[in-house]
């Protein structure tokens, strides 16, 4: 007869199979509380945390399992994956080395060790070539500007041409061309990136938005390379225009395999409507995430390595948040580990860099709300968790009404928390073609009363998520 702890584990396993990862975590937690001596309970929960990007919590569980059994191989696997999720490639490599010490003939471990070792070597090489002999970083913007001038568009190219300014007609042609699985010519892709780089680099780190009288604003959350769902948003809610402004709240790329199409569309609209189409940086607009979850691989497969580097330069200039009518704070991740943060501080953050692992910029991209008061360490291993009292205090300190953030998949596409003062919005339905969740977006007018619109996923061409992540897709459990 199974023990109560084993019964709890079995329930967790059933939830995991159904991709109900949060419920699985609850059952594995119950098993641990009933019998904290079993390492498998911790590694099972670690895997569920990994599926929800709770890499910090997964690391803790893997360590707990190893304290109970230093030769428990699955714990090294889990810790290796969690370290990858945090961009700690060398630590991940050491974990696979530890697996091979225990099981030297494990072919799966050998394969994964070689894959991670390849990444470590590649990153070292890329770091070396990014900086020249004089120790000066390559000026990718200048390199691509000069390269663009030499690019020839042959008569056989049948896509939209961008010989002048971006127009609404060009954008409609572009979206149809991309929908038909055709590539925009690299000359025009480079031109769009260079123009948006110039625009974004002129902005503060917190951008003000004003909803016009009798106007509206649509706020969307993560889209993660799901281009065909983005087109569906525009079908449902209308194309961007001065009378139909949009804010997309970060995590435009990775996981989904049409991230290039998403970015060319978003950057095109950002240039066309600089006062009515807005983009916030998410934690996935960063090198570590792009190397791991497919965006770099996609850009390199569809275009070139240099274009991938140019995307990085542009991502570095994306604003970190937006303030709507001085009343609604929109940010990808969330709030802060310290009290008393003022919105004026956020305007002047130096953002032209990769996100650090602590501080205001990090927390804007990585933090999450929690139902209990106060703060707690992030399950992700980066950022912080903040409670309803923290949200209320931040809003009071800054004379605001509402926080809108994204960053987390929600079954219904949204979640209203913290007494209605913190809304999570997520706009990637059936996330990774497997989660079965709805997508949602928020419509706002001058009353600042959010209207939430839900929608389902639409079909897309037969290209799987993480298709350009190479061997990383299996390492990360895809």
Question: What pLDDT, on a 0 to 100 scale, did the predictor assign at position 409?
Answer: 94
Q: In this predicted structure, what is the pLDDT of residue 478?
A: 55
β-strand pairing of 328-331 with 321-324: antiparallel
DSSP string, 139-180: -HHHHHHHHHHH----TT--S---SSS--HHHHHHHHHHHHT
Query: Is 243 within 8 Å of 445 (Cβ atoms)?
Result: no
Of residues 252, 282, 286, 245, the one with CA closest to residue 267: 252
CA distance 455 to 458: 9
Full pLDDT tens readout for the chain, 478 residues = 789 999 999 999 999 999 899 999 999 999 999 999 999 999 999 999 998 889 999 999 999 999 999 989 899 989 998 998 888 889 989 998 888 888 888 888 888 888 888 878 877 776 666 655 555 678 999 999 999 999 999 999 999 999 999 999 999 999 999 999 999 999 999 999 999 999 999 999 999 999 999 999 999 999 999 999 999 999 999 999 999 999 999 999 999 999 999 999 999 999 999 999 999 999 999 998 998 899 999 999 999 999 999 999 999 999 999 999 999 999 999 999 999 999 999 999 999 999 999 999 999 999 999 999 999 999 999 999 999 999 999 999 999 999 999 999 999 999 999 999 999 999 999 999 988 999 999 999 999 999 999 999 999 999 999 999 876 666 665 5
Kindly report the CA angle at 140 between 134 and 141, in degrees rounded to 5? 125
pLDDT of residue 135: 57
**What local confidence, expressed as pLDDT, does residue 472 receive?**
64
Strand residue runs (E) in 380-427: 384-386, 402-405, 414-417, 422-425
What domains can be seen in the chain, in order of their start residue? 4-129 (1.25.40.10), 195-475 (3.60.21.10)
**Angle at the Cα of 394 from the Cα atoms of 366 and 213, rounded to 5 degrees:** 95
- Cα 436 off chain centre by: 18
Task: List the catalytic residues.
Answer: 284
For β-strands 384-386 and 439-444, DSSP reports them as unpaired
In 3D space, the residue among 201, 166, 156, 223 whose CA is nearest the CA of residue 313 turns out to be 201
User: What DSSP state is assigned to residue 231?
Assistant: H
Whole-model pTM?
A: 0.93
Contact present, 413 and 426 (Cβ < 8 Å): yes
What is the C-alpha separation between 13 and 21, in angstroms, rounded?
A: 9
Alpha helices by DSSP H, listed for 186-249, are 186-200, 227-237
* 173 exposure class (CB count in 10 Å sphere: 0-12, 13-18, 19+): middle
Directed axis angle between helix 73-85 and helix 107-130, to 10°? Answer: 20
What letter does residue 396 receive in the DSSP assignment? Answer: H
Burial of 180 (0-12, 13-18, 19+ CB in 10 A): exposed
Of the candidates 49, 67, 54, the residue with the CA atom closest to the CA atom of residue 12: 49
Which pLDDT value is given to residue 131?
A: 56
Query: DSSP secondary-structure letter at 138?
Result: P
d(CA 433, CA 468): 15
Residues sharing a CB contact under 8 Å with residue 127, sequence separation 6 or more, in sequence order? none
pLDDT for position 385: 97
């Amino acid at each position: 007869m199974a023990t109560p702890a084993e019964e709890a584990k079995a329930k967790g396993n059933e939830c995991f199979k159904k991709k109900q990862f949060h419920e699985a975590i609850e059952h594995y937690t119950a098993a641990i509380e009933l019998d904290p001596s079993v390492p498998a309970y911790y590694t099972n929960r670690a895997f569920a945390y990994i599926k929800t990007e709770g890499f910090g919590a997964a690391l803790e569980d893997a360590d707990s399992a190893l304290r109970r059994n230093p030769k428990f191989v699955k714990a090294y696997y889990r810790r290796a994956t969690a370290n990858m999720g945090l961009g700690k490639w060398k630590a991940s490599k050491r974990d696979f080395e530890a697996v091979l010490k225990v099981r030297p003939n494990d072919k799966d471990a050998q394969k994964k060790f070689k894959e991670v070792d390849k990444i470590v070597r590649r990153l070292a090489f890329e770091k070396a070539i990014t900086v020249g002999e004089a120790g000066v970083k390559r000026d990718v913007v200048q390199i691509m500007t000069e390269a663009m001038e030499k690019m020839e568009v042959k008569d056989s190219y049948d896509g939209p041409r961008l010989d002048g300014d971006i127009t609404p007609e060009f954008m409609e042609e572009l979206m149809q061309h991309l929908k038909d699985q055709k590539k925009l010519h690299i000359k025009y892709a480079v031109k769009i990136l260079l123009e948006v780089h110039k625009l974004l680099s002129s902005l503060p780190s917190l951008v003000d938005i004003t909803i016009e009288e009798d106007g509206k604003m649509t706020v969307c959350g993560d889209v993660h390379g799901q281009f065909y769902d983005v087109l569906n948003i525009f079908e449902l809610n209308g194309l961007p225009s001065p009378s139909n402004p949009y804010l997309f709240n970060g995590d435009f790329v990775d996981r989904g395999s049409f991230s290039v199409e998403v970015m060319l569309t978003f950057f095109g609209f950002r240039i066309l409507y600089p006062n009515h189409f807005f983009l916030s940086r998410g934690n996935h607009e960063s090198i570590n995430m792009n190397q791991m979850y497919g965006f770099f691989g996609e850009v390199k497969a569809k275009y070139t390595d240099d274009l991938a580097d140019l995307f990085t330069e542009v991502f570095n200039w994306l604003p970190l948040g937006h303030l709507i009518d001085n009343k609604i704070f929109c940010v990808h991740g969330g709030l802060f580990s310290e009290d008393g943060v003022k919105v004026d501080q956020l305007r002047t953050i130096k953002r032209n860099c990769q996100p650090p692992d602590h501080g205001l910029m990090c927390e804007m991209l990585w933090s999450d709300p929690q139902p209990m008061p106060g703060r707690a360490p992030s399950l992700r291993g980066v950022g912080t968790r903040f409670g309803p009292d923290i949200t209320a205090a931040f809003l009071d300190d800054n004379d605001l009404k509402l926080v809108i953030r994204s960053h987390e998949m929600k079954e219904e596409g949204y979640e209203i928390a913290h007494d209605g003062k913190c809304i999570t919005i997520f706009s990637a339905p059936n996330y990774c073609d497997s989660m079965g969740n709805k997508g949602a977006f928020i419509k706002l007018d001058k009353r600042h009363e959010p209207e939430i619109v839900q929608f389902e996923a639409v079909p897309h061409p037969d290209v799987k998520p993480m298709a350009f992540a190479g061997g990383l897709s299996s390492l990360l459990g895809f």
